[in-house]
């Protein structure tokens, strides 16, 4: 049976170069990075060289990067720091965010932080006029804007320039979850006035369980995890040296081939959309996920014209891996909070599937998926 993996927004396969660097570190550099002997110093050198490489590629300084267990921890670290240590009393976010942000700001709301949500337009994009109104009404409070760069379910791309202009106009702070964009887009932190961002290696062909938070110099970082002085006192716990090495390798490979991969994936996504509309004319693309200028090249959210409760299971039997929404909610049976925020009641009754691509996917795989969809739909 043919195997086709189209759930890359959930996690991506490790690249061969990443596996090699990861295994090499496991075999040869096993010292505790906090130890002062040669074994420890070797591990420390690998970690700091990786930090330098990542900082160079993002155009920031090494002191602005904190290695974490992934995007969820990075979001928590940033949001809680903003409230507990930077005196933020108002957070402006949206209903489209990943639960790593939504659940954290719910927690902060219980601690008397004011939370406001930007309106979602009928196409699943944000109402930037409403964002400005919220900022206008918050001039007496220290405010943090927290908005996803690329939505993990429908692929919508945030207009960073527009948000940054508003952030500067109203003297707010700006945090963006870039878990779906780091490694897939050029992020230049010299040109982009972003105060905080979160990233996760397994979304760009790196290992699971490793990521980083970016704190703009001058904002300060206080640890949420206590027990040691690792990460310059910002996060206690022995660093995962092989995973950090693997993450750096993955980011380097992805960014060195960025333009080529971007072109390839846009063509692949366009081909998939064209074949779907040609073979199954009743399908719709949720939000702006069918617009290659407004959505990422890695995600397509497809709505079928009826309820197909067994569709994911039937595709899985054919060796095809896709998602019905965010994989972080798999098994919860709660539906997609993102789709619920802008689809009407009738559309919500139809089955929606997220297809997400990587540079490892091929047109032959797309043809196979289309053929199987025709059989089950």
Which residue, of 222, 256, 290, is where some domain finishes? 256
Are 114 and 46 part of one and the same domain?
A: yes
Are 137 and 56 part of one and the same domain?
A: yes
Are 242 and 282 part of one and the same domain?
A: no
Which residue, of 256, 289, 313, is where some domain finishes? 256
Query: Which pTM does this prediction carry?
Result: 0.95
Q: Angle 258-279/363-376 helices, nearest 10 degrees?
A: 30
Q: What is the DSSP letter of 64?
A: G
Are 243 and 337 part of one and the same domain?
A: no
- Here the CATH number for the domain that contains residue 361 is 3.90.1150.10
- Here the CATH number for the domain that contains residue 169 is 3.40.640.10
Q: What is the DSSP letter of 87?
A: -
**What domain range includes position 60?**
16-256
Are 103 and 240 part of one and the same domain?
A: yes
Phi and psi for 121 in degrees, rounded to 5? -80, 165
Are 225 and 175 part of one and the same domain?
A: yes
Our count of domains for the chain comes to: 2
Which is catalytic among the residues 164, 280, 328, 377? 328
Both ends of the chain: CA-CA distance in Å?
20
CB half-sphere exposure, 365, CA atoms < 13 A: 19
Which residue, of 198, 230, 256, is where some domain finishes? 256
Are 185 and 272 part of one and the same domain?
A: no
DSSP string, 323-344: BSS-GGGTTS----HHHHTTS-
Picking from 95, 159, 85, 168, the residue whose alpha carbon sits closest to that of residue 128 is 159
Are 119 and 226 part of one and the same domain?
A: yes
C-alpha 276/C-alpha 103 separation (Å) is 35
Give yes or no: 328 in active site: yes
- Tens digits of pLDDT across the chain (377 residues): 899 999 999 999 999 999 999 999 999 999 999 999 999 999 999 999 999 999 999 999 999 999 999 999 999 999 999 999 999 999 999 999 999 999 999 999 999 999 999 999 999 999 999 999 999 999 899 999 999 999 999 999 999 999 999 999 999 999 999 999 999 999 999 999 999 999 999 999 999 999 999 999 988 899 999 999 999 999 999 999 999 999 999 999 999 999 999 999 999 999 999 999 999 999 999 999 999 999 999 999 999 999 999 999 999 999 999 998 644 544 545 689 999 999 999 999 999 999 999 999 999 999 999 999 999 88
Are 190 and 271 part of one and the same domain?
A: no
């Amino acid at each position: 049976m043919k195997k086709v993996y189209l759930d890359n927004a959930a996690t991506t396969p490790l690249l061969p170069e990443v596996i090699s660097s990861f295994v090499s570190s496991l075999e040869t550099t096993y010292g505790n990075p906090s130890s002062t002997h040669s074994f420890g110093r070797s591990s420390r050198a690998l970690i700091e060289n990786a930090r330098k490489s990542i900082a160079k590629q993002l155009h920031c300084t090494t002191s602005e990067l904190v290695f974490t267990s992934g995007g969820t921890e990075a979001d928590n670290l940033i949001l809680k720091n903003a409230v507990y240590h930077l005196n933020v009393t108002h957070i402006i976010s949206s209903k489209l965010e990943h639960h790593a942000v939504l659940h954290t700001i719910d927690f902060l709301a219980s601690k008397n932080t004011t939370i406001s949500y930007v309106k979602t337009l009928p196409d699943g994009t944000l109402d930037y006029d409403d964002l400005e109104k919220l900022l206008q009404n918050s001039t007496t409070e220290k405010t943090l804007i927290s908005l996803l760069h690329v939505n993990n379910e429908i692929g919508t791309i945030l207009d960073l320039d527009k948000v940054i202009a508003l952030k500067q106009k109203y003297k707010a702070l700006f945090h963006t979850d870039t878990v779906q964009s780091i490694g897939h887009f050029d992020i230049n932190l010299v040109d982009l006035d972003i105060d905080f961002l979160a990233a996760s290696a397994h979304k760009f062909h790196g290992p699971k369980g490793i990521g980083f938070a970016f704190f703009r110099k001058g904002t300060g970082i206080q640890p949420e995890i206590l027990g040691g002085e690792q990460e310059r006192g910002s996060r206690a716990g022995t660093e995962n040296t092989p995973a950090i090495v693997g993450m750096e390798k993955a980011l380097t490979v992805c960014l060195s081939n960025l333009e080529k991969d971007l072109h390839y994936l846009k063509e692949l996504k366009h081909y998939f959309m064209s074949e779907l509309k040609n073979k199954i004319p009743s399908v719709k693309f949720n939000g702006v996920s069918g617009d290659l200028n407004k959505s990422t090249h890695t995600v397509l959210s497809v709505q079928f014209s009826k309820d197909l409760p067994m569709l994911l299971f039937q595709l899985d039997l054919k060796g095809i891996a896709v998602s019905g929404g965010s994989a972080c909610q798999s098994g919860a049976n709660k539906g997609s909070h993102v789709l619920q925020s802008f689809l009407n009641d009738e559309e919500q009754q139809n089955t929606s599937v997220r297809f997400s691509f990587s540079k490892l996917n091929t047109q032959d795989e797309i043809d196979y998926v289309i053929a199987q969809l025709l059989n089950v739909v």
